[in-house]
Amino acid sequence: MADMKNEPRTYVVTGAASGIGAATADLLAAGGDRVIRCDLRDADVNADLGTREGRDRLAEGVAAASGGTVHGLVAVAGVGDLSPAPVRVNFFGTLATLDAVRPLLARSDRPRAVVVSSLSAIVAADENLAAACLSLDEEAAAEAAAKVVAAGYGQTVYPSSKLALNRWLRRAAVGPDWAGAGIPLNAVAPGVVDTATARRFVLDDPAAREVVAAMMPQPLGFPGPVEAVASLLAWTVSPGNAFMTGQILYADGGAEALLQP
């Protein structure tokens, strides 16, 4: 994705050790750009975004590895556990990542940022839990998630964290810290794609696969290809994306169009 002057850009990709994050990091690197890979392990910067210590480690590691300038951020890192972890990682960890990298983006030419959401945010989210996240009180939101899990609805925590992320992004992207600073910020919301995580939780279980395919019908195929999502993520942080911000882009094989015509 190097620009027309063939000047390599520096990208930060979280969740880069596997799945969509790995595919996106590989695509950006194949285009001649520099990629700082971040994940729990096996990365340039190893950090747990579910903890404050891990978020500090990410901020320090990215600042050191980048030399102080980043052209694009692809925030993929997320978890789908039936616990409060998605609230801490997917929502608060992503916001902390954006906050840490934003000053480095502001120093670059044509900065861009994108986060990974999910089609599930429009299918199975808990409005009250999403609102708890948007209060920006992490401990209160994690406590609300724990109550949802204890009540037997742990499967709603992941989509709720993504719904909250969508709503936060729509508000923040057009504000002074992002659009006001010349930094387009968008989200890509995949449907079910063929990753190791999807195989473990959905695709390898015939019953689960049938239920999820019915809830999230994908006319272009179920599951979808990882490479298609990576390609869209790479474009959103490229110089070519010069006038789009605050958008949720559904890379879901047409599911969102069927569910919300």
What pLDDT, in 10s, does the model give residues 214-251?
A: 999 999 999 999 999 999 999 999 999 999 999 999 99
Quick one: CA dihedral 153, 19, 259, 159, positive or negative?
A: positive
Instruction: Please indicate whether residue 11 is annotated as part of the active site.
Output: no
| Tokens encoding 185 | 């910020």
Residue of 11, 153, 158, 250 marked active site: 158
Q: Average pLDDT, whole number, for the chain?
A: 96
User: 183: helix, coil or strand?
Assistant: coil
Q: What is the pLDDT of residue 6?
A: 66
Q: Which of 149, 103, 105, 139 is nearest to 11 (CA)?
A: 105
With a threshold of 0.85, does the pTM exceed it? Answer: yes
* 7: confidence class by pLDDT, cuts 50, 70, 90: confident
Mean pLDDT, residues 57-70: 98
* 201: confidence class by pLDDT, cuts 50, 70, 90: confident
In sequence order, what are the residues at sequence separation of 6 or more whose Cβ sits closer than 8 angstroms to the Cβ of residue 2? 8, 9, 31, 32, 33
* 47: confidence class by pLDDT, cuts 50, 70, 90: very high
| Tokens encoding 1 | 């994705």
* 1: confidence class by pLDDT, cuts 50, 70, 90: low
Bond into 261 cis (ω within 30): no
Place of tokens 């044509």: 110
State the Cα angle at 88 between 260 and 112, rounded to 5°.
65
In contact, 176 and 183? CB cutoff 8 Å: no
Phi, psi torsion values for 81, nearest 5 degrees: -60, 150
Mean pLDDT, residues 131-142: 98
> Is the confidence at residue 5, as pLDDT, over 80?
no
Mean pLDDT, residues 26-32: 98
Q: What is the pLDDT of residue 31?
A: 96
Return the percentage of the chain with pLDDT > 70, whole number.
98
Q: What is the separation of C-alpha 10 from the centre of its chain, rounded to a whole number of angstroms?
A: 18
In sequence order, what are the residues at sequence separation of 6 or more whose Cβ sits closer than 8 angstroms to the Cβ of residue 227? 23, 27
Burial class (CB in 10 A: 0-12, 13-18, 19+), 242: exposed
Q: Which of 76, 92, 222 is nearest to 160 (CA)?
A: 92
Q: What is the pLDDT of residue 2?
A: 53
> Is the confidence at residue 4, as pLDDT, over 60?
no
